[in-house]
Amino acid sequence: MQPLLAQGKSKPAVPWAVLKSAPDQKPLPGTKPLTDTSDLTSKMIAGIDRFLLQQIDQAAVDRPRQWKRDLSSHEAYVRSIEAKRKELSAILGMTDPLVSGGRFSYLGQTHSRSAKGFVNPGEFTYTVHEVTWPTLDDMNGAGLLLMPSGKVHGDIIAIPEADQVPEDLVSSENLNNSYAQKLVRSGFRVLIPTLINRDTNRWNMSNREWAHRPSFELGRTLVGYEVQKVLAAINILKQTNGSNKRPLGVIGWGEGGRIALYAGALDSRIDSTAVCGYFASRQNLWQEPADHNLFGILNTFGDAEIASLIAPRALIIEAGKYPTYYYRANAENGLEVVEDHYTKLKGKPGRLHIPSSKEIKTEFARASNFVAHLEPQIPTLELIETESAVSDETLTAFIRSLSPHASLKSEVKPMKLTSRDLAKKRHNDQLAEILRHNQRLLQLAYESRIAFMKNVQTDSVANFEKSTKAYRKIFREEVIGEFVQDLLPANARSRKYQEGPKTISYQVEMDVFSDVTAYGILTLPKDLKLDGSEKRPVVVCQHGLEGRPRHTVGEEGYRAYKSFSTHLAERGFITFAPQNPYVLFDRFRTLQFKAQSIGRTLFSIAVPQHQQMTDWLKTLPFVDGKRIAFYGISYGGKSAMRIPPLVGNYALSICSADFGEWVWKTAATDNLSLRYSYTNKGEYEIFEWNLGSTFNYAEMAALICPRPFMVERGHFDGVEPDDRVAQEYAKVRFLYQAQLKIGDRAKIEFIAGPHAIHEKGSYEFLHKHLHWPTPKTEF
């Protein structure tokens, strides 16, 4: 857009809309006065926070209705919980098949030489081997295998805390932590897997978060991979235990306790499970590290519900010492919340939950009550209270649940394990394997989405619309997440805000859900007749990350937004600039984790907000409710892909400065991609569950189709390279033009410009498809 020439001056006027405060604060006719003088954005975020916490509490209340346990017999009970096991497996993302017929690979030395290499000969009655084992077709487990020299009472997988190496469980500075040595000296074959640690990496986040981010986007989780390594090891242990009747147990502390709990719940071959330093309520899951984030888990499972999947097999809960870990968090004040600047630390604030004794007992009582009337009754659940981690009392109860005649050898002797020198490399190799596996999944995701969308019919527009209804339902319920409740009456409140030469604007606030409000700036052309004698189209102008509605109307924020809310109103459109909830830094980012714990997202709030706002706009006598457009930039461009598919009031959508190969951008970890990828950036909330196998931007655009859709792309926009944008848009173009023969409804404009509104092709698109005449004189 060319700047106006100021009268009487040779220099051009400023390019942004020049606005001044309105002379009064009268409300828009038909609305109540807006008298709240607080920050309406901060108020909105605080309200969403309260709403989500209430929904998390409600999920726990509703959870029992999800379960139908048959307690009439052990066999009936196991059958009745089988569907819940599958649901837990799906939540963990355990969709890749395990390798069958695998074996342990002994590294570096033969079995007999391995004993001499790792343990002082003749001093102890067991040997230690460094081993790997196949898990997925391109991923292995790795750790230590401890072999007793005498009679083997059973097999045990001892899972360390994330910040322990396997050698710590054999011989550590604190010998009390070396419980695997006690187990092997008590006559059990013991496998100790390697976990990904929480060390802060070069991206200023933990290694666990670094591995979890792309996994989550691709429908997997880091803990799911680690559980699969345990299950793959069980396959091998069962193949190599002679008669295959040897009992098998899993035990773990901290993160290892979490993995043991999940493994015990999923695999009935595990005869006994011991969970140490983990069991508690998960209602504050959102406060835990990012790698603990599991989409929708709290709708069905707390720790007690997961424990009930282990019954009627033995489960021992140790209420003792819990590990500590804080990242941008502390024990006294909770999570660090930054709302006004970026931090160099790019990971999610998080801390491991350390429950009170009362909380552990309460959760244990819930688990006990689930199986209290199971027939025939047997003591399958035991709580051991102690001051230590993996106490001798716990170990004694654990091994006796496997072999009644086993006796714990509690003496531990220090030793030097030469494998400790290899522990760091072993860990880094394990991390690299997970990252490579995810990159392979990223490559395969393209074909997965084609298979996913196979039921879309393109022989006619009518059949296309019918066939996409099922996909829109999946998108609403399983990807975005939906709060199934009625919108409140809008109860719109407004006040005059600003005036320009040709426009007048109002701040508008309305109710959505209990505690949830919507807020924005409505800008009207001054020549608009408010009595309903004419009806005009509306353009909803959506800001980007950390934006405010005011950034879209005038000088503030002009560099990116070009005053597009006001400039469009100067062209005769009505505009509305809403406040979306991606604002105030950590305050909004932690909202995402609260929402995801119950199977929702930030857009589970934004969608009903936009539904309410557009419903209200349609009630205004001067608005044509069939001509409401969405135009969003940057994070607003993300909104342009996710909100219009689910808000039918939108007649078209324009995605500016965001469209591209979204799944690649949120899952790529190779060095060439990291310039563009979110995986190493500070937007720790950006990752959405399983988009890799479902909806990339082309598939989201298909949910907007057959409504008009446009991409505004700057060649020098660093969001993505041109080729990625063009490749993804080509699928959209193929759908609109080649398949449905409605190519005039889809457009991409490439601009020799940056990450900004361009004000040319998009304005032409709006005039054309909203059927509003282009001004005779360009502004």
pLDDT digits (tens, 9 = 90+) for 51-87: 999 999 999 999 999 999 999 999 999 999 999 999 9
Antiparallel, parallel or unpaired: β 536-542 and 574-578: parallel
Average pLDDT over residues 228-232: 98
What tens digit of pLDDT does each residue of 525-582 get? 999 999 999 999 999 999 999 999 999 999 999 999 999 999 999 999 999 999 999 9
- Residue 342 is predicted with a pLDDT of 54
Q: Over 284-308, what HEC string results? A: CHHHCCHHHCCCCHHHHCCHHHHHH
Cα–Cα distances (Å) from 620 to 116, 494, 533, 538, 767, in that order, read 85, 13, 12, 11, 21
Judged against a pLDDT cut of 50, whether residue 119 lies above it is answered with no
More confident call, 240 vs 66: 66
Q: How far apart are CA 686 and CA 604, in angstroms?
A: 14
Average pLDDT over residues 614-621: 98
What tens digit of pLDDT does each residue of 400-452 get? 999 999 999 999 988 889 889 999 999 999 999 999 999 999 999 999 999 99
Judged against a pLDDT cut of 80, whether residue 721 lies above it is answered with yes
What tens digit of pLDDT does each residue of 103-114 get? 999 996 433 323
Using a 10 angstrom Cβ sphere, with 0-12 exposed, 13-18 middle and 19 or more buried, the burial of residue 118 is buried
Q: How far apart are CA 663 and CA 669, in angstroms?
A: 12
- Residue 3 is predicted with a pLDDT of 42
Average pLDDT over residues 626-655: 98
On whether the CB atoms of residues 566 and 556 are closer than 8 A, the answer is no
More confident call, 277 vs 11: 277
Question: Residues 6 or more apart from 101 whose CB is under 8 A from it?
Answer: none
- Residue 108 is predicted with a pLDDT of 62
On whether the CB atoms of residues 456 and 464 are closer than 8 A, the answer is yes
Q: Which residue stretches of 244-391 are H helix?
A: 255-266, 297-300, 303-308, 357-370
Residue 706's identity, in one-letter code, is P
On whether the CB atoms of residues 195 and 159 are closer than 8 A, the answer is yes
What tens digit of pLDDT does each residue of 461-490 get? 999 999 999 999 999 999 999 999 999 999
Average pLDDT over residues 13-18: 92
- Residue 332 is predicted with a pLDDT of 63
What tens digit of pLDDT does each residue of 125-148 get? 899 999 999 999 999 999 999 999
Tokens of 151: 């009679």
- Residue 546 is predicted with a pLDDT of 96
Q: How far apart are CA 375 and CA 77, in angstroms?
A: 9
**Alpha-carbon dihedral angle through residues 695, 698, 703, 704, given to the nearest 10 degrees:** 140
Average pLDDT over residues 328-347: 70
Cα angle 531, 620, 608; round to 5: 175
Average pLDDT over residues 299-303: 98
Judged against a pLDDT cut of 90, whether residue 176 lies above it is answered with no
State the DSSP code for 613: H
What tens digit of pLDDT does each residue of 649-679 get? 999 999 999 999 999 999 999 999 999 999 9
| Least-confidence region, from 247-256, 662-671, 769-778 | 769-778
- Residue 39 is predicted with a pLDDT of 98
Give percent above pLDDT 70 in the chain.
94
Q: Cβ of 562: how many Cβ atoms within 10 Å?
A: 20
E strand or H helix at 156: strand 154-159
Reported pTM: 0.95
Average pLDDT over residues 357-379: 94
Judged against a pLDDT cut of 90, whether residue 502 lies above it is answered with yes
Return mean pLDDT, the chain. Answer: 94
Judged against a pLDDT cut of 60, whether residue 377 lies above it is answered with yes
Judged against a pLDDT cut of 50, whether residue 5 lies above it is answered with no
Tokens of 164: 């322990």
pLDDT band at 313 (very low <50, low <70, confident <90, very high): very high
- Residue 123 is predicted with a pLDDT of 43
